[in-house]
Structure 1
Amino acid sequence: MATEKDRAIIAPMLARAFAEDPVFAFIFPNQEARQRQLRRLFSLLIASDLRSGGGFVVEEGAAATLWRAPGQAKVGWLEMLWNSPALVHALGTSLIRALRTSAAVERRFPAQPFTYLHIAGCDPAAQGRGLGGAAIRAGLVAAQPGMPCYLETPTEANIGLYQRFGFSVTAEWRVPDGPRLWSMVRPPA
């Protein structure tokens, strides 16, 4: 189980893992600044996800998943307001693009309660060793029984990975003027 102490290890790993992710490349088009901004953003997202669900880390931070509990998928306005200086610092000139992307993601959330696999990442240097799968498995085992799990991915190559864990594509869609994503749901265990 991830803790607040893990944030310093997980944030830079996730920044490396998502360096070429279509959503984050859209939000942060400047490739040079993206790593710095991603580290800051992931540090905030990790803290929020740990408060609103939990996380799992494998191999001392080589891979991690961050989950949000049923009814906690959306980050509330009060939390965003509380963290607004840090958000502005992390997002910089990408703030509007990030908020529009987040709103598009939230519009696609299932109507019924669900456990949200918000972030799953593996350090590029550790990929292919099953570590990302181990972090996903840990979250699925800990998920609330009888509750579906939901995620979205902008990487078509990841669909097969998630299908091996019981997820099915429920929709293919685009962020307005942005990348294509696939929504996926895993029925209750």
Structure 2
Amino acid sequence: MNHSIRTATSHDLPAAARTLSVAFADYPWTRWTIPDDDYAHRLEELQSLYLSHAIEHGLVLVDAHGRGAVAVLPSSAPPLADDLQRQVRELHGDRLEALLAADLPAHPMPSWELATLGVRPEARGAGLGSALVDAVVAEVGRLDPGCTIALETSDDRNVRLYEGRGFFVTAHTSTADGPAVHSMQRTLPATS
């Protein structure tokens, strides 16, 4: 199937945040790190904050039909601004301590972080997730040939998706009372 994927702008942010919040509704990591109280709203707000940072300092791609989105950030991107950090802390509420205690391995330096990728449930199984991965890998490879792209996932189905796109598992991390996290990466060719 042919998918129409393009670079997002700030105008795409609300729809992309909604798409990602629907895509992550039952995701183990977000279920563990976001309180149940008003979970859907918190999740959409967090996605919006992270996407706005990625649009400014990295790259966000969206499906032209609003069914999927992906965001990457270079390791040179600044941390979230203080106001955004405050909002993130508030949205994580009483789960913030667990989130901060997760001891995930550092990404290789320098690298790009595939920070989020989501596809609406009704659009899954048609190759859109793979198309989003391929599109973001191609664009990052054009911007930064020879770089490494790193990510984490808490869903075994995602591991298979990323392995099918050339990524490999570099670590498995257990959390105290939450999901296991798979760290993955892929080094791109030095020439695009």
TM-score bracket for this pair, using the shorter chain length: 0.7 to 0.9
C-alpha distance in structure 1 between counterparts of 2:147 and 2:22, whole Å: 31
The 8 Å contact of residues 147 and 187 in structure 2, kept in 1 or not, is answered as yes
| Cα deviation digits, residues 20-43 of structure 1 (max 9, x gap) | 11111111241x621111011101
Shift >6 Å, 4+ stretches: none
1:61 to 41, 60, 66: 66
What amino acid is the match of 2:172?
E
The structure where helix makes up a greater share of residues is 1
C-alpha distance in structure 1 between counterparts of 2:92 and 2:182, whole Å: 24
What amino acid is the match of 1:128?
G
Deviates more, 1:171-180 or 1:111-120: 171-180
Report matched runs for 1:31-110 at 5 Å. 33-72=38-77, 76=79, 79-101=80-102, 104-105=103-104, 108-110=105-107
1:26 to 32, 47, 53: 32
C-alpha distance in structure 1 between counterparts of 2:151 and 2:168, whole Å: 10
Q: CA deviation at 1:84?
A: 4.2
Is the alpha carbon distance of 1:22 and 1:50 closer, same or farther for their aligned partners in structure 2, counting shifts above 3 Å? same
Q: Which TM-score applies when normalising by structure 2?
A: 0.85
| Cα deviation digits, residues 148-179 of structure 1 (max 9, x gap) | 11111100121111011110111111234321
RMSD of aligned alpha carbons: 1.8
Residue equivalent to 1:113 = 110
Percent of aligned positions with the same letter in both sequences?
28
C-alpha distance in structure 2 between counterparts of 1:65 and 1:5, whole Å: 15
Residue equivalent to 1:134 = 131
Is the alpha carbon distance of 1:51 and 1:63 closer, same or farther for their aligned partners in structure 2, counting shifts above 3 Å? same
Is the counterpart of residue 14 in structure 1 residue 20 in structure 2? yes
Q: CA deviation at 1:50?
A: 1.3
Residue equivalent to 1:158 = 158
Aligned residues: 180
Q: CA deviation at 1:60?
A: 2.5
Is the counterpart of residue 122 in structure 1 residue 119 in structure 2? yes
Structure 1 runs not aligned, ≥5 long: none
Q: Which TM-score applies when normalising by structure 1?
A: 0.86
Is the alpha carbon distance of 1:95 and 1:138 closer, same or farther for their aligned partners in structure 2, counting shifts above 3 Å? same
